[in-house]
A and B are shown apart, each in its own frame.
Chain A
Amino acid sequence: MKLLAELWSSSVESLVGLGAVVRFLLRLLVDTPRALLRPDLIAQQVYNSGALSLVIIMLSGLFVGMVLGLQGFQLLQRFGSEEALGTAATIGLVKELGPVVTALLFAGRAGTALASELGLMRATDQLSAMEMMAVDPITRVVVPRFLGGVIAMPLLAAIFSVIGIYGAQLIGVQIMGVDSGSFWSQMRASVGLSDINEGIVKSCIFGVMCSLIAVYEGYHATPTAEGVGRATTRTVVTSAVVVLFFDYLVTAAFL
């Protein structure tokens, strides 16, 4: 009985939390047109979330691609179909690993930066000071950061996939000796637009989710050192779970 009551109250609590996040998202969307009048602020945030994450995204993409090349080669060799390596690696990267790994890295690199920045702005009264200067911090600070992340994420995922394919090619063709012509031609023949679309849809959804979670947690952080730390941790954990959950949903939807 007690367990049931606890289960009930905790599910009510999470529903209330979810409602608060959705309301926050609606508020961001309402303020978006006004924020679009200041493209310089958004560009700055695309730089912060995107350009500054480039190195980690490119490095990870290269290594993930190389591992795919190695594993894929080992597996396909057993069936004597090494030429399919290009197809296998590309499908894996574009549909799955590109968006998902990029989103996880994005949450760790850009999401935590956003959450701790906003949390510290709250803790040091910068957000209250803006309100006192009759400047809405949602429009001026939160929405540009949210939009910056939303724009940066699909671009980063695309870069990740491209570098990953290059990494797979590096191992498969240059080292393991798969025929270069068949690697590329098989890939081109069997990777369709729908595969790429799936990747784009996923990375767009992940971009919205990760950015929303980061700005929500940061904006609502308890204004103490501990509170900002907790907000940062929650950003990464929640983003990871939400990304993997939506990954399954979108994959199922595209079948």
Chain B
Amino acid sequence: MNQSAAIVDIRNVNYAVNGRPIFAGLDMQVPRGRITAVMGPSGTGKTTLLRLITGQARADSGSIMVAGQELVNVRRADLYVLRRRMGMLFQNGALLTDLSVFENVAFPLREHTDLPERLIRDLVLTKLQAVGLRGAAELMPSELSGGMSRRVALARAIVMDPEILIYDEPFVGLDPISLGVILRLIRRLNDALGITSIVVSHDVQEISAVSDLVYLLSGGKVAAKGTPQQLQSYPSEIVRQFVGGLADGPVPFHFPAPDYFGELLARDGVS
């Protein structure tokens, strides 16, 4: 992959929370115009990676270039300029609960543009049509199902025509039909609008169906990188455990604990 094709370029990034290292020397390149998946066991810092890419958290060292903007030590104003070119879909949708579906999607337009009301209406209805929820425009977020909220949030994320669209665990807690809808939308929006998609997930099947490139994170590093097909036969224990869904392996079943029998006997007063 050549340099100019990568819209997100992460080099040698270190990041620690309360002295506990999350990433140590992380390298990752996200190609422009593709769907890149970030997978990994729970607690490997997938969501933290998104926070770094979106500037919600600052890396301790290294370099994170997003659409030509360096994010380590970025100024707040520059970050806000960059964020207008990004869309993000939060896990639960994060719709503004005091606004209707229509107003939620119109929110970024009203905040950042002076477009006439008629144009805003057309833009919002177009985006809602794209996610199949034009008919729900007047509903309140509390009246939507989980899958519908996520689709509205998706409409809101694309209303400013972003270059990068980021999905945080978009498949969690969805019924098979809603899941199919979201999967199709991710692919269709990516291809139709020519945007770059980054999907964080641990649903191996779903992600394999939709992504062009997969990064598997483990222990704060990239454990594997390749197409979904390449990952199926990747020569690594951790990848085999993760893709195969095995309970024990490099990621142990047991949380670190003192000796089992010793602890049981100690409780019974036997030394």
Contacts and interface: CB of A to CB of B under 8 A. Distances in A.
Contacts of A129: 88, 90, 94-96, 153
Interface string B78-117: 0011011011101110111100000000011001100000
Given A132-B54, A133-B111, A125 B91 contact: yes
Given A134-B81, A134-B84, A128 B108 contact: no
A140 B112 CA distance: 12
Nearest to A132: B88
B92 A124 contact: yes
B91 A133 contact: no
B94 A134 contact: no
B56 interface: yes
A134 B92 contact: no
Nearest to A117: B98
B207 to A, nearest CB: 22
A120 B112 CA distance: 25
Contacts of A136: 80
A207 B177 CA distance: 51
A134 B80 contact: yes
Residue from B80, B96, B112, B153 with most neighbouring chain A CB atoms (10 Å): B96
Contacts of B56: 128, 131-132
Interface string A100-137: 00000000000000000000110011101111111110
Contacts of A135: 107-108, 111-112
Nearest to A129: B94
B157 to A, nearest CB: 8
Range of interface residues on chain A?
10 to 19
Nearest to A131: B56
Contacts of B91: 125
A132 B160 CA distance: 12
A133 B92 contact: no
A104 to B, nearest CB: 27
Contacts of B156: 133
Interface residues of B, number: 23
Contacts of A131: 56, 83
Interface in A14-39: none
A133 B96 CA distance: 12
A182 to B, nearest CB: 52
B111 A132 contact: no
B94 A126 contact: yes
A140 B80 CA distance: 14
A236 to B, nearest CB: 23
Nearest to B98: A117
Interface string A220-234: 000000000000000
A128 B95 CA distance: 11
Nearest to B159: A133
Contacts of A140: 111
Contact of B108 (A120, A121, A125, A133): A133
Contacts of B90: 125, 128-129, 132
A152 B160 CA distance: 36
A252 to B, nearest CB: 42
Contacts of A121: 96-97
Nearest to B90: A125
A132 B96 contact: no
Contacts of B80: 134, 136
Interface in B231-264: none
A124 B97 contact: yes
A133 B92 CA distance: 16
A133 B112 CA distance: 9
A136 B56 CA distance: 13
B97 A132 contact: no
A121 B95 CA distance: 9
Contacts of A124: 92, 94, 97
19 contacts: A120-B97, A124-B92, A124-B97, A125-B94, A126-B94, A128-B90, A129-B96, A129-B153, A132-B83, A133-B107, A133-B111, A133-B156, A134-B83, A134-B84, A134-B108, A135-B107, A135-B108, A136-B80, A140-B111
Given A129-B95, A131-B56, 7 more contacts: A128-B90, A129-B90, A129-B153, A132-B56, A133-B111, A135-B111, A136-B80
Interface of A: 120-121, 124-126, 128-136, 140
For the complex of A and B, the 4 pairs showing the least CB-CB separation, nearest first, are A129-B94, A125-B94, A134-B83, A134-B80
